[in-house]
Structure 1
Amino acid sequence: MLQTIRDRATGWIAWIVVILISVPFALWGINQYFSGHVEADVAKVNGTEITLRAFQERYQQERNRLEEQLGPRYTELVNESRLRKRVLQQMVNEEVLAQSADAAGFRISNSLLAAEIHGIPAFQEKGQFSDQRYAQVLSAQGMTPLRFEPMFRRELLIGQLQDGVIRTGLATPWEVDQFIRLRDQTRDFFYLSIPISRYERDAKVSEGQIQQYYDAHKDKFMRPEEVSIDYLDLDVSKLASSIPVSDEDLRALYKQQAGNFVTPEQRRVRHILIRVPKDADQQTVAAARSRAEALLKRLHDGASFAKLAKEYSQDPGSAAQGGDLGFFAKGTMTPAFDKAVFAIQKKGEIVGPIRTAFGFHIIQLEDVKPSREMSFDEVKTQLAADYRKRKAEDRYYALADRLTNLTYEHPATLQIAAQKLGLQVQRTGLFSRQGGTGLASNTKVVAAAFSSDVLNGNNSDPIEISPTQTIVIRVHDHKPAALRPLAEVHQQVEDDLRDQYGRAQAKKLAEQLLAELRAGRDPQRLAKADDLGFKQLKAVGRGDTAVDAKILRLVFGSGRPQKGHADYGDVELDSGAYAIVGVTQVSDGDPSGIPKDKRLVDEQALAQVAGTQEFTGLLADLKQHAKVEMEEQSLTQP
């Protein structure tokens, strides 16, 4: 399809590309899953429907992404109901924006769409777009170009609107100054620390208290539900290792792929670069060209290229090596530079000045490695690996279908499928819903293992661990959650009670000392009298990692102290200790000391924030004036 679309170079909105390419595009078997059901809507935006099917696909994509990102902590950190609502809200936002962009006349031409797709690394081979690779990647995600391209065009359209608004963000000089004053602000402070360990050993804990605490906190002493699983593992890499290969097969493959085993011509050059800024005016460009031409004349008069490169080249990567760039093949460098290098006729020849985005280059050809065909022996190992992989992939897809059918037809055992497919039933150790090690660290496996269907004794559906690995599992052993006996957790209960007592006593002393400090008592004398740690710090910045994060947060959340006084506060640290903090001085950052280039970065960052706020406001306004109907009760439909 894309062959009919005209090429044109461009490149923006990379985040949209990442999102679209890095997560699964569709659920396997989605058509069968929804067959027999009337298509339902989960929302309407100005009459345009967001279907339940579209929502389910998008929700599964987001769920898969979070599972991959969070691992075993997914179930602990993600609220499924909130995730569903968030996904729906995002889809509504996108529809509102797409309608607005369309109404405003934004368009994505075929040439722009093609250029963006051609620029996606996942669709490239050796740095060039491949129609075959494009189709393969989409097919692996259950997609076709006919389905993907309209989706991607819509994402680009929304991105065009978003980018256009965000780029309007501005930051005034006063705002930049204020930002620098706050960001680079430092504070002087001291703190007293009260460790709970000084009280824990004094706590008197009775058996009655232990029993009472145990009875009141039984949920804390539960042994989690655990399972161990049996599984069949269908893996391309394991299949490949068992596939025999003969020299005859490899020689036939070598002959078939002969064009793939030609090393391209490589050239080694030296260059001298005279840089030209991107926004340079004509006078600056002319001056740079003049310098390059003067150096070229000296070279033609017999000067050493390496010496002049070391002295005058403004390429930090090669100047010290006399401008030597080493060997490289055609297509490696920028087009103008590349064209000049491979147009040189003989070794030692010097050409220039050549203009590129970096400036003006003078180039000398040092050496040439001609193109050559690699021998069979040189590529035999790679040929064998490729042969086995290709055969293994063919076998994998055939066996995957049979694995699905056999484990479905015989849901109470894996043995039949194992025998017919030549696989071995393997077993994991016990693991909880939080996951375990090895295969049990995969969130898809954990979710399947604790699903009601599998816990009830059935085989799981095939689980795609990766595009080249599929497993089917069943529960071998299931241990329900159970309360651990008091005898087993007796020491833990006692430690909890001592910790509780220590925290209470530390807090009590902290409140007492804080009152005394605010009454004017000397902090160092107080610390010495109570045998407490005392630390004084000066010129501490917001990002100082050497200071406890909670102390730092309290310090920079405090007000400015009056001269000769301190602004006090206290905070409980993660260790249970208490810190009493006194801020004695606040010193703002100095905007006048920031170099122009760094100030420009700050200005651009603030403008980006302002633009993002503008975009958020625009979205809110568009939604307010749109007719949005949401059917959230439909979100949990199967």
Structure 2
Amino acid sequence: MIRILQQDNRLTKAIFALIIGAAIITMVITLVPGIFDNGANNNPSVFATIHTPGIFGKIVGESQQVQMADVQRQTMQQIQQQHLPEQYAPLLAGRVGQQQVERKVLALEADRLGLQVSDEDLRSFMQKGTLSQYIFPGGKFIGTDQYTNFVQQYFQISVPEFEAEVKSDLELQRLQSLVTAGVTVSDAAVRADYMQQGTKVKFDYAVIAASDIKKTINPSDADLQAFFKQFAARYATAIPETRKLELFSFDASNIPGGKPQVNDADVQAYYNAHLDQYKLPEQVKTRHILITVAKGADAKTDAAAKAKAEDILKQIRAGGNFADLAKKNSDDPGSKDQGGELPLMPTSGFVPEYSKAAMALNPGQTSDLVRSQFGYHIIQTEQKEAAHTKTLAETKDTIVPLLQQQKAGAAELNFANQLAAEAKKNGMQKTADAHSLHLVTTDYIGHDGVIASLADSSNVLTQAFGVAKGAAPATASTGEGYAVFQVDDIKAAHAPDFADYKPHILDDYREQKAPELLNSQLIKLADRAKVLNDLKKAAAEMNVPVKTSDLVGRDAQVPDLGALTGPASVVFSLPKGGISGPINEGPNGSVIQLADKQEPTADDIAKNLPTSREKLLNVKREEIFNVFVGSLMDKYEKAGAIVYSTKQPASPFGGR
């Protein structure tokens, strides 16, 4: 079941609908400046504390808290689901925290209005709502194990936490429905909106590329020198700082006495210190057939399920193939297609009745009927393992290389520190000679440069650019060992010579002059096209290429022109044959002449009126609810009912 879910894009949409909450709610979130500067809450585990303001602004009632752990968890979920770089985490964490504060405030308001969600409401949503196809496929529950795996894999929280969040979402949806219940739109507004959104156009467009304009800009040396002087501050540090280093490096083979050896005592000591890592829980591998009985089913239904299970068990006892009978009869969608087989897994992952029965069997034996909260199980044990700790013999092959690496790393670091101390006393060259190491003097090198003699010079250069010229020798890892280095000389960042930097100055000059020249050419093209009433003729005179679009709507992306939601949307307001002014955005500029416009007919509008009305209603509801949320948050803020932590949420990936 889970493998199927991993390939189903609908599940991702459902998860976003639930965990991110009501989409309208999160749209009004903005990062409040200074929220971490003025708070009175110094508890590092709490993002914010929310109180209930009374009628006259006085704080009343019990407080609620947004936990830092929840903020970090949801931040990580959004980073992973949206495939964002990890460096976005600190900013996103602040926004996620504010979303949770807003949800708490809205939940308090929903509670005040009596909109709480009951357990029965939750059960109904699970069976009929967004996630029903995954939790109750075909109207049948997938089973506790699969349900727990589903929640943990896609939401990274426990089942009780997941169900609490679903309840919260449902409550906020009720609040949103209540607030926006009176929103209406007129037929005229719906027709006008559909007319606008449904109109399609076809057009010719001439494109002038900024890159082509730049090629026509050929200033004299005098022009470039004047530009260079005019923007002297810009070029004052155009040549970055460089440094010359002396260094020698070594790896494990250079350590006096050779690589450190690992003996049996070392292995035994490590094993004793890490016993918890080698403890294995009680595990069992089984096949099972489940005949479900819905919670609260009457005695007749229960008896029918039991009778069916007993009949299947009789067939197995008579020599029937367990796997075939499971495929044909089992109600567990997670295992029936595999002949009822479940992988070797801890018994703690099963309901107690199942675990007890499975462990009581010997491999190959089949149980009597086992009743659990899900119905009747027939269990066949294939393999079982008692809880135990792996022996030293079983783990030695993994411990030895780990200890070898640790010992070698420690020995390398000690040797590096020893060499640095010697170099400080005796000099770099004498120290290198004394240990048969080769001293290298680099050319002047930048922070992002490469030292050819090192496998990885990034650590050396990072440290080298943080110390003064002539500072004591220091050490840095190289990926294959360590280097001992000293900064021999520094060339500060400085302005370049004009002659040496002329190609860069030319690029900068063209970059600055191109937009003005591009706009001038576009104005000339648009004016000439309007005089001739023909864009193609005007473009031919100026040697500008002309393209023709497909018949497209407002949501189209047109090659070399971009989205029709930007400045190019002017095409929808042109009459047939009409010519636009200059459209200048991004790397290209263009002029458009409308060739054809197709507007929705009265029949089209009438046919799509209900769908169009709902779309427009949703937009209006969103606007109204945004106003409501903003007003409610303002009320809480003015009453001092929201107290943020003085600590910003840490990135879930580490750091700040």
TM interval, shorter chain, is: 0.5 to 0.7
Shift in Å, 1:292: 5.8
Provide the residue aligned with 2:93 in structure 1: none
- Distance verdict in 2 for CA 1:493–1:108, change over 3 Å: closer
Higher radius of gyration, 1 or 2: 2
CA–CA distance in 2 between the matches of 1:417 and 1:330? 62
**Are the equivalent residues in 2 in contact too, given 1:570–1:579 (CA < 8 A)?**
yes
Q: Does 1:534 align with 2:547?
A: yes
Q: Does 1:170 align with 2:176?
A: yes
What SS does the aligned partner of 1:227 have? Answer: strand
Q: 2:261 aligns with which of 234, 239, 244?
A: 244
Shift in Å, 1:194: 1.2
Shift in Å, 1:367: 0.5
Root-mean-square deviation (CA, aligned residues, Å) is 6.8
Q: 1:349 aligns with which of 366, 378, 386?
A: 366
CA–CA distance in 2 between the matches of 1:287 and 1:559? 70
What SS does the aligned partner of 2:285 have? Answer: strand
Provide the residue aligned with 1:381 in structure 2: 397
Provide the residue aligned with 1:216 in structure 2: 230
Provide the residue aligned with 2:379 in structure 1: 364
Q: 1:339 aligns with which of 331, 355, 360?
A: 355
Shift in Å, 1:488: 2.1
Provide the residue aligned with 1:481 in structure 2: 493
Provide the residue aligned with 1:205 in structure 2: 219
Shift in Å, 1:571: 4.6
**Are the equivalent residues in 2 in contact too, given 1:198–1:502 (CA < 8 A)?**
no
- Distance verdict in 2 for CA 1:610–1:170, change over 3 Å: farther
CA–CA distance in 1 between the matches of 2:609 and 2:40? 40
CA distances 1:73-95 after superposition (whole Å, capped 9, x unpaired): xxxxxxxxxxxx99854231564
More off after superposition, 369-378 vs 561-570: 561-570
Provide the residue aligned with 1:455 in structure 2: 468
Amino acid paired to 1:617: D
Provide the residue aligned with 2:323 in structure 1: 306
Amino acid paired to 1:170: Q
- Distance verdict in 2 for CA 1:623–1:585, change over 3 Å: farther
Amino acid paired to 2:380: L
Q: 1:621 aligns with which of 617, 638, 648?
A: 638
- Distance verdict in 2 for CA 1:567–1:266, change over 3 Å: farther
CA distances 1:31-71 after superposition (whole Å, capped 9, x unpaired): xxxxxxxxxxxxxxxxxxxxxxxxxxxxxxxxxxxxxxxxx
Q: 2:286 aligns with which of 266, 269, 291?
A: 269
Shift in Å, 1:382: 1.6
- Distance verdict in 2 for CA 1:430–1:267, change over 3 Å: farther
CA–CA distance in 1 between the matches of 2:377 and 2:531? 75
**Are the equivalent residues in 2 in contact too, given 1:93–1:619 (CA < 8 A)?**
no
What SS does the aligned partner of 2:522 have? Answer: helix
CA–CA distance in 2 between the matches of 1:540 and 1:321? 49
**Are the equivalent residues in 2 in contact too, given 1:243–1:388 (CA < 8 A)?**
yes
Provide the residue aligned with 1:22 in structure 2: none
Q: Does 1:509 align with 2:521?
A: yes
Amino acid paired to 1:508: S
Matched ranges for 1:386-465 at <5 A? 386-388=402-404, 432=446, 446=462, 454-455=467-468, 457-458=470-471
What SS does the aligned partner of 1:165 have? Answer: helix
CA–CA distance in 2 between the matches of 1:349 and 1:360? 17
Q: 1:320 aligns with which of 337, 343, 353?
A: 337
CA–CA distance in 2 between the matches of 1:210 and 1:352? 91
- Distance verdict in 2 for CA 1:612–1:231, change over 3 Å: farther
Amino acid paired to 1:483: A
Shift in Å, 1:379: 2.0
- Distance verdict in 2 for CA 1:498–1:263, change over 3 Å: closer
Shift in Å, 1:223: 0.9
Shift in Å, 1:161: 5.5
Provide the residue aligned with 1:55 in structure 2: none
Amino acid paired to 1:164: K
**Are the equivalent residues in 1 in contact too, given 2:358–2:380 (CA < 8 A)?**
no
CA distances 1:509-535 after superposition (whole Å, capped 9, x unpaired): 322344567789455665566541414
Provide the residue aligned with 1:225 in structure 2: 241
**Are the equivalent residues in 1 in contact too, given 2:327–2:340 (CA < 8 A)?**
yes
CA distances 1:396-455 after superposition (whole Å, capped 9, x unpaired): 9x969x969x98x9799899999999999999886656788997767x985x6555xx33
How many residue pairs match? The answer is: 483
What SS does the aligned partner of 1:325 have? Answer: coil
What SS does the aligned partner of 1:483 have? Answer: coil
Provide the residue aligned with 1:561 in structure 2: 573
Shift in Å, 1:549: 9.0
- Distance verdict in 2 for CA 1:343–1:497, change over 3 Å: same
**Are the equivalent residues in 1 in contact too, given 2:556–2:563 (CA < 8 A)?**
no
Shift in Å, 1:267: 2.1
CA–CA distance in 1 between the matches of 2:523 and 2:375? 70
Provide the residue aligned with 2:12 in structure 1: none
**Are the equivalent residues in 2 in contact too, given 1:309–1:322 (CA < 8 A)?**
yes
What SS does the aligned partner of 1:455 have? Answer: coil
Provide the residue aligned with 2:37 in structure 1: 91
CA–CA distance in 1 between the matches of 2:536 and 2:304? 67
CA–CA distance in 2 between the matches of 1:189 and 1:383? 70
Shift in Å, 1:272: 5.2
CA–CA distance in 1 between the matches of 2:544 and 2:424? 72
Matched ranges for 1:31-46 at <5 A? none
Amino acid paired to 1:480: A
Matched ranges for 1:48-63 at <5 A? none
* Structure 2 residue runs without a partner (length 5+): 1-18, 21-30, 53-58, 77-95, 108-171, 644-656
CA distances 1:263-321 after superposition (whole Å, capped 9, x unpaired): 55532223456899xxx9957x9999788656524422426543454456566654432
**Are the equivalent residues in 1 in contact too, given 2:529–2:537 (CA < 8 A)?**
no
**Are the equivalent residues in 1 in contact too, given 2:208–2:544 (CA < 8 A)?**
no
**Are the equivalent residues in 1 in contact too, given 2:286–2:383 (CA < 8 A)?**
no
Provide the residue aligned with 2:653 in structure 1: none
- Distance verdict in 2 for CA 1:431–1:101, change over 3 Å: farther
- Distance verdict in 2 for CA 1:441–1:344, change over 3 Å: same
Shift in Å, 1:220: 4.3
CA–CA distance in 2 between the matches of 1:312 and 1:585? 57
**Are the equivalent residues in 2 in contact too, given 1:270–1:324 (CA < 8 A)?**
yes
- Distance verdict in 2 for CA 1:613–1:188, change over 3 Å: farther
Provide the residue aligned with 1:195 in structure 2: 209
CA distances 1:248-275 after superposition (whole Å, capped 9, x unpaired): 4435655776775465553222345689
Identity %: 17
